Amino acid sequence: MTEPCRTLSLPLLMLVPLLANAEEPGEPPCWPENPNRPRVVRYLWIDRGPMDKVVDIYVAGGVPTIIGLPAKLHSRGTGIGGGGQRRFDVLKGGRQILLTPTQDLADGERFPMWVTLADGMVISLSLTRAPEGQRTDGEVQLQRSAEWAEVAGLRAQLVSMTEKAKGFELSLQQALRERESQQYALADLIVRGHVDLTSLAWAAGREIPGTVDGSRMISLRTYASHRAKEIAALLKVENRSPRPLDLSTGRVYRFSTSAAADDRVPVALRAQPAIVPPGGTGHVVLVMDREQAFGPDSDEKVLLHFLSTHQGGSLELSAELAPKDFAIPDTSAGSREPF
């Protein structure tokens, strides 16, 4: 049993119910140190599921009772019902709860209490007066039975397998959509250097800084066609920063002077490699529908954003694209400009 972190007299503890609500679950509670108080610990085993058995805790007015838990408390989900919030001073934190009834309980009077642990388990307790021949609990240690621990382990495995299955299903659905998408087929060809096998031709090129400090530089090449509604942007990115750059996070937004909010533009993205190390170079291709990107009158612009996957979602790279970047080329001249 841990040592008390401060000394409180019993009357003072009864006068500070608001302090109970201020305790954070991440800290152990503090309880009054009384050398005359008997240190008797009652051990209770929680059998099978946490809701299968209600555990009686014997309390008395003005007598603190410590409840030790098998795991840390959850930040929410612990309380006393039946008006008990007015009848008990409660301190909680870490793996312990300290209860002090403000007055004696009548014979047969009970208050339901539920305790939610950090692993999601819920323990049902019943706060009541000690029956004749029993003593008030000074300290109760709740321990999981081997069967309950096994159930908890199986439940955790089931949750993990379910989440993985959902992830696999989403990945499969995305892969099927990409396999049937003409835009992703174009992106695959261009990122591998086979733009000559597509119906698109080189439209324009320019050098742009990807960040304010110039730590990421972008060489932009764009492609368009008279016969296809798709347009493509090929970006060669030099990562001059000391951090890796994830090119798979690219998002395209359309913004207009007449619109208050930006619109997400559907885009087929392919990056090679997906993660560009410090000092490295990567290529990323974005294939879009011209009208979806710039509007039916081609009078809007789009903003390309790459967000960090290791810096809390901060902006790592950005570029602004305009309709003039995708002007229809004069194919009679046979103009193509590869990297």
DSSP state of 103: S
CB-based burial label for 46 (10 Å; 0-12, 13-18, 19+): buried
CA-nearest of 296, 195, 156, 318 to 252 is 318
CA-nearest of 127, 105, 102 to 114 is 127
For 79, 205, 257, the CA distances from 76, given in Å and listed in that order, are: 9, 56, 45
* Lowest pLDDT segment from 115-119, 146-150, 271-275: 146-150
- The pair of structure tokens assigned to 220 is 């932009």
Assign domain 182-333 to its CATH architecture. Answer: Sandwich (2.60)
Judge if pTM exceeds 0.85.
no
User: Whole-angstrom Cα distance, residue 228 to residue 203?
Assistant: 13
Q: Which are the contacts of 218, defined by CB distance < 8 A and separation ≥ 6?
A: 207, 208, 209, 210, 235, 236, 237, 238, 317, 319
Q: Does 97 have pLDDT greater than 90?
A: yes
Enclosing H/E stretch for 39? none
Mean pLDDT, residues 185-199:
87
CA-nearest of 66, 36, 68 to 136 is 66
* Lowest pLDDT segment from 58-62, 156-160, 237-241: 156-160
In this prediction, residue 96 has a pLDDT band, given cuts at 50, 70 and 90, of: very high
Instruction: Give the per-residue pLDDT at 112.
Output: 92
| pLDDT 10s digits, 259-314 | 445 578 888 888 889 888 888 999 999 998 888 888 888 888 888 887 766 655 56
Instruction: Give the per-residue pLDDT at 174.
Output: 67
User: Where along the chain do its domains lie?
Assistant: 10-150, 182-333
Hey, which residues does 144 pair with through a beta bridge? 46
User: Whole-angstrom Cα distance, residue 281 to residue 217?
Assistant: 10
C-alpha angle 234-237-240 in degrees, rounded to nearest 5 = 175
